[in-house]
A and B are shown apart, each in its own frame.
Chain A
């Protein structure tokens, strides 16, 4: 509806208490940018005190990651509603930033437009901006409702002492305010100018209708007021980011750019700048400054979204660990010890973190499953931090009593069970045990396939059955296979991830020596932890390493192992992805292909399958560790299998088998559910085979 043309006061052309518009805008900019630069410098100063961390390798991959995960928000949709909201707000923000820049420009010169955004393109942008603003405001409203009413469980951590709801609402409010202020600015301009607002601009149209009857003075007050308030709010927003949990708005994409490119199953060296561990005075991280600069950047980038802890099996089972709280507590400490205002601690200050702020119980409760890292939308790393903090505790001698014995046994006997080393090869067949087609190799002997069982599959009576099952399958396939026998030591995989780097090196060197003394073309292991160690921790090993599911895939695909129905029961089977096969090494399909070839087997998938798999509680020598918890992870996982409708859970990892079988017993599901290793199920499906 058109109206009479009134005088429009343009912001750049007015004076405010004697200050011309452009000067006011300039002053605001200088103050805000100055404050922002000061704050960022303070934040960066702590990064400069962190340990070195080389993150400029493979720039191409880094750029790609920043584009896909950072800009592309590729991890957001995992939590669908929140994910969509965030994607819309994020892209809306990018679109609207052009408008914000334009408005800053209008403070200097009336009618300012960004280069290229005059004319037709400007008109198109204006339309885009309008609808973007509408969507963003709606998203903010929905987000606020989620904060205040829906209250998803992961928003508030059970270990949190404070709450970020206030900050969240402030940000939502600020974002909405920016949109509202801009709308009022445009609407008052339209009413003053007597222009009709088309229906294609619903926000401005509605605002114009509200302002319809107002007088010239009021309209101009609204016009100028909304302009300057918009710009002030924007500049305040900018400065507020690095002092709040929304620092991620600035640091998220750099954080993704600098993220760890090495496979998640690898562990960072104790100190990048010193390769010889014996020359390092203090090992590991016990204080803030001992973290690498990238890990400190991780703390800054944490959005407190809670997805990591929501995915964490240790959190779900009631241990003191909550990954997100590690980030939040560390950040709170960083903000407190290295404040934006006030005295900055002198160079060389040490701010103790482990002990006063992060309890040992949190650090030992981690199984290194990697679910947290998989879930984080800004690629925060947790495993290297946990290992670094463990290294510190080990160096100090602060290891829980329940872990000391298995670690001492690893050192002295090469296995955490304390069993006699000379019996390590006995599973292949000795006296009362029938042989299974895998021989023990003496020094100098050769074979095609080297079977590296690692300690669990060598000594645990239940898992020895799997090793023998695998052995029989290998024999049926006509392959030549052998083991290191009693010269095999534990792979050292858990020792390393428990922070005992020296013990890991010891065990690794013993195995490398034993391996060098024998000839073989490739290795196979039924243990994903050993698979991970041999693949990533044993740099000197040249031969390819297979997990037994890959071998079985190969053999069943080629028909070397002929699968035939034997009238066995129809099972409803669900495959449980082991952390170190699936998430850490991306091997999800080989076991599923094998299952797909087995007759009488119907497969169902658990909701949390593949890279969302829920850890059974096997890593970090968890079988020995007695930390506080409400339930065992295996029990939680078994419930998920039951929910999927399975009567059989198929595993491909010794620890998964043990934990899930234990869970069947402790939850009284004997006779109703069963756990089997992939090798055992394959063996059952062979013609004329009876399970042994």
Chain B
């Protein structure tokens, strides 16, 4: 089974105090620490587990600059067989459609039974790339998978839908599945594990190698552009209602009316 995993290197914003950078369109990256996108980590683990069970190869792909290579090495340390680094100045500033375009060009030319991506990324959080990529590849897709098994050429996926519900679907391969956190328990990657794969060659492909017209990707090709990034102004503090349940409900209804919510 040929499995492709699309991964992204993102900043860890859990404890960071974010500052807007000088352009007003991005965050100040100086003190930030970067790592594998959490959702993608579950995707890599899923891919490696499927390979261990059914045989085949796992290829990890990322679109990014030099620094982003580290997540490919990490995927190799987790058990991916190959990695591919899609890197070109022309790719910088791509919107989700641009990323999907680049990935599509890289993937469509190689065998792919299953394409896995994280459901969203920890920085942008748009959740667009997976769906667009599937459409471009012309394969079926399911988003927010919480369980995934494959039997020969059929995948059974349990995934989240609206209303806190989950649904189980079966789909024929080739297919694309976007992965929700908690799908599995990703294996730990030790420093030693990373060191073991540090010598592996990771091929790089640019716009020319993939046959991509630079005008269709990057900032130039972007159809969604960031106008401004800002930290929402701090409003007044929250009000905590007191009293018994009936009192609180009455007060709440009053507040909602006052603020035009009802």
Contact = CB atoms under 8 A, between A and B. Distances in A.
Given A408-B35, A418-B12, A420-B16, A395 B185 contact: no
Contact of A500 (B17, B186, B187, B190): B190
Contacts of B188: 394, 397-399, 404, 407
Given A408-B35, A413-B33, A422-B31, A395 B192 contact: yes
Contact of A503 (B15, B185, B190): B190
Give the contact-size bracket for chain B.
20 to 34
A502 B14 contact: no
B4 to A, nearest CB: 21
Contacts of A420: 15-17, 31
B185 A401 contact: yes
Given A418-B14, A422-B31, A398 B190 contact: no
Contacts of A278: 192, 195-196
Contacts of B186: 404
A665 interface: no
B122 to A, nearest CB: 13
B191 A395 contact: no
Interface in A411-426: 411-413, 417-422
Interface in A371-428: 394-399, 401, 404, 407-408, 411-413, 417-422
Most-contacted residue by chain B among A277, A283, A396, A420 (CB, 10 A):
A420
Nearest to B34: A412
A332 interface: no
A397 B31 contact: no
B17 A398 contact: no
A502 B17 contact: no
Given A397-B78, A401-B185, A502 B15 contact: no
A399 to B, nearest CB: 4
Contact of A502 (B12, B187, B190): B190
B189 interface: yes
B93 interface: no
Nearest to A270: B192
A500 B188 CA distance: 10
B64 interface: no
B69 to A, nearest CB: 16
Interface string B12-25: 10111100000000
B193 A397 contact: yes
Q: Chain A contact residues: over half helix, strand or loop, or mixed?
A: helix
A44 to B, nearest CB: 33
A480 interface: no
Interface string B195-211: 11000000000000000
Given A278-B196, A412-B33, A413-B33, A418 B15 contact: yes
B35 A277 contact: no
A503 B191 contact: yes
A527 interface: no
A501 B191 CA distance: 8
B35 to A, nearest CB: 6
A412 B12 contact: yes
B192 A396 contact: no
Contacts of A277: 192
Contacts of A506: 191
Contacts of B34: 412
Contacts, number: 58
Nearest to A504: B191
Contacts of A399: 187-188
Interface residues of A, number: 28
A419 B15 contact: yes
Given A278-B196, A418-B15, A502-B195, A397 B189 contact: yes
A537 to B, nearest CB: 16
Nearest to B188: A399
Given A278-B196, A413-B33, A418-B12, A397 B191 contact: no
Contact of B192 (A413, A417, A501): A501
Interface in B14-53: 14-17, 31, 33-35
A418 B33 CA distance: 10
B78 A502 contact: no
Contacts of A501: 192
A397 B185 CA distance: 10
B192 A397 contact: no
Nearest to A404: B188
Contacts of B78: 397
Nearest to A501: B192
Contacts of B195: 278, 502
Contacts of A502: 190-195
A270 to B, nearest CB: 9
Interface in A568-602: none
A277 B190 CA distance: 13
A662 to B, nearest CB: 22
Most-contacted residue by chain A among B186, B192, B195 (CB, 10 A):
B192
Interface in A264-284: 277-278, 283
A377 to B, nearest CB: 36
A501 B188 CA distance: 14
Contacts of B17: 420
Interface in B156-198: 185-196
Contacts of A503: 190-191
A398 B187 contact: yes
A283 B190 CA distance: 11
A421 B32 CA distance: 9
A665 B16 CA distance: 30
A382 to B, nearest CB: 23
Contacts of A407: 188
Nearest to B195: A278
A387 to B, nearest CB: 14
A413 B17 CA distance: 14
A304 B186 CA distance: 38
Nearest to A499: B190
A506 B190 CA distance: 11
A396 B48 CA distance: 13
Contacts of B14: 418
A396 to B, nearest CB: 7
B191 to A, nearest CB: 3
B31 to A, nearest CB: 5
Contact of A395 (B12, B31, B35, B193): B193
A401 B191 CA distance: 17
Contacts of B189: 397
Contacts of A283: 192
A581 to B, nearest CB: 29
B191 A500 contact: yes
Nearest to A280: B192
B233 to A, nearest CB: 22
B77 to A, nearest CB: 9
Contacts of A413: 12, 33
Q: Which 5 A-B pairs have the closest CB atoms?
A: A397-B187, A502-B191, A399-B188, A502-B192, A412-B33
Given A397-B193, A407-B188, A420-B15, 4 more contacts: A399-B187, A413-B33, A422-B31, A505-B191
9 contacts: A278-B196, A395-B190, A401-B185, A404-B188, A408-B35, A420-B15, A420-B16, A500-B191, A503-B190
Interface of B: 12, 14-17, 31, 33-35, 78, 185-196
